[in-house]
């Protein structure tokens, strides 16, 4: 494996989204990620996803890319012993079970850190490892709601909405990964590992900008505003004659002047209604309406060409086919094609961000269940064929 973390070994426990996405990020950056899965069943994510082709999930190949799959029954003492053996020379153990589960299996922090004092244990959960809600079931949807995101998403005339992706899980995974990297840095300095306690609701709360002091200091509760932000104008979606939408963000004075010239409305630059940021915010609906009338007379491509010509920030509202056709996506290899054992060429998002000295890549799609049992259990841990045969017979692997 290439990438800036190619010397790091991660043991991934848990399933579905938040924990495994943290593991995906480590694997993206070149770490050796050994994913332990329940024998015969595996991670339920193997069967998730709206679109399936020939019975194949289209989510798993991305979520488990660059990982090694080993089956291991964590409810069996021999499976728990496999974890302890793997932890002995691992850098990170990642789990996203409900708090208390690892302790019931004899795999809590006290036990594992005694085996490897340098271990970083990353624990991802809905509400964190402590507090009155710690042992409640925690899902992204709940964390998004309690973290403040759901209330401010959507149109003000409708109920709180959701993003079209599990953004709460992704945010928790990103913060868990960031925390793990900070903890690994601490290991390099002190030689001591620690627990990284990442919760979904706090990871959502972390990106909520000034929502809390807006209330505590200003007595203001942020509401849903649809595709725009109050008093930030113009910055909105605007319709075009071909039924598409373009997003134009020209709320800074310099950009607004360029937009006025692009629209053939230089007189707006000195118009009292639009002369500065505050004035445009006060007349936001009127300004958005005027811009929408103008964009509705052209195609999306024509609007965007004018915006590029006049150096106004703008973009299309992309779907998958738009991304695949975009020359900028192609030039930067934002989407790559990887071989899939049954589906052939498989397109997916690349590894981000890009590294100039240690480039990382998608080496392989999500593995088959237990594909790396022999490599890890025989090659790394030294179990012989007879022991592994007994493990299989007893459902340990």
Q: Is omega for the bond preceding 208 within 30 degrees of 0, making it cis?
A: no
Tell me if 226 sits within 8 A of 155, measured CB to CB: yes
Report the distance separating Cα 157 and Cα 387, nearest Å.
63
Q: Domains (ranges, CATH) in the chain?
A: 9-207+341-393 (3.40.50.10540), 235-324 (3.30.1540.10)
Q: What is the 3-state secondary structure (H, E, C) of 238-267?
A: EECCCCCEEEEECCCHHHHHHHHHHCCCHH
The kind and range of the H/E element at 172 are helix 167-190
What is the reported pTM? Answer: 0.94
Q: Would you write out the chain's pLDDT as a tens digit for each of its 397 residues? A: 689 999 999 999 989 999 999 999 999 999 999 999 999 999 999 988 766 777 888 999 999 999 999 999 999 999 999 999 999 999 999 999 999 999 999 999 999 999 999 999 999 999 999 999 999 998 999 999 999 999 999 999 999 999 999 999 999 999 999 999 999 999 999 999 999 999 999 999 999 999 999 999 999 999 999 999 999 999 999 999 999 999 999 999 999 999 999 999 999 999 999 999 999 999 999 999 999 999 999 999 999 999 999 999 999 999 999 999 999 999 999 999 999 999 999 999 999 999 999 999 999 999 999 999 999 999 999 999 999 999 999 999 9
- Strand-pairing partners, residue 122, are 94, 196
Report the distance separating Cα 355 and Cα 375, nearest Å.
29
Q: What is the DSSP letter of 362?
A: -
Our answer to whether residue 169 is catalytic in this structure is yes
**Annotated active-site residue in 28, 43, 91, 169:** 169
């Amino acid at each position: 494996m290439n990438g800036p973390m190619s010397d790091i070994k991660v043991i991934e426990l848990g399933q579905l989204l938040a924990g495994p996405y943290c593991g995906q990020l480590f694997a993206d950056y070149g770490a050796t990620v050994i994913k332990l899965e329940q024998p015969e069943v595996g991670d339920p994510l193997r069967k998730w996803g709206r679109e399936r082709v020939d019975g194949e999930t289209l989510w798993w190949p991305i979520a488990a890319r660059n990982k090694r799959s080993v089956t291991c029954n964590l409810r069996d003492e021999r499976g728990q012993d496999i974890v302890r053996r793997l932890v002995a020379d691992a850098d990170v153990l990642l789990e996203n079970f409900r708090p208390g589960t690892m302790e019931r299996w004899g795999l809590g922090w006290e036990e594992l850190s005694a085996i490897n004092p340098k271990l970083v244990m990353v624990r991802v959960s809905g509400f964190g490892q402590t507090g009155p809600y710690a042992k409640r079931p925690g899902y992204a949807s709940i964390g998004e709601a309690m973290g403040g995101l759901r209330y401010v998403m959507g149109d003000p005339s409708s109920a709180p909405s959701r993003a079209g992706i599990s953004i709460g899980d992704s945010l928790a995974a990103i913060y868990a990964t960031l925390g793990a990297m900070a903890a690994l840095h601490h290991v390099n300095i002190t030689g001591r590992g620690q627990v990284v306690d990442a919760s979904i609701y706090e990871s959502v709360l972390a990106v909520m900008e000034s929502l809390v002091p807006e209330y505590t200091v200003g007595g203001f509760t942020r509401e849903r505003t649809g595709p725009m932000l109050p008093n930030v104008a113009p910055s909105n979606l605007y319709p075009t004659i071909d039924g598409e939408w373009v997003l134009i963000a020209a709320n800074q004075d310099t950009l607004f002047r360029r937009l006025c010239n692009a629209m053939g409305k230089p007189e707006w630059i000195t118009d009292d209604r639009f002369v500065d940021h505050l004035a445009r915010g006060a007349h936001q609906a009127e300004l958005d309406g005027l811009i929408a009338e103008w964009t509705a007379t052209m195609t999306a491509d024509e609007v965007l060409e004018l915006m590029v010509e006049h150096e106004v920030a703008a973009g299309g509202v992309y779907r998958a086919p738009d991304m695949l056709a975009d020359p900028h996506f192609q030039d930067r290899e934002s989407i790559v094609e990887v071989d899939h054992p049954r589906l052939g060429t498989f397109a997916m998002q690349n590894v981000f961000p890009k590294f100039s000295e240690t480039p990382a890549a998608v080496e392989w799609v999500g593995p088959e269940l237990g594909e790396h049992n022999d490599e890890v259990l025989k090659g790394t841990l030294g179990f012989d064929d007879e022991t592994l045969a007994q493990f299989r017979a007893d459902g340990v692997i």
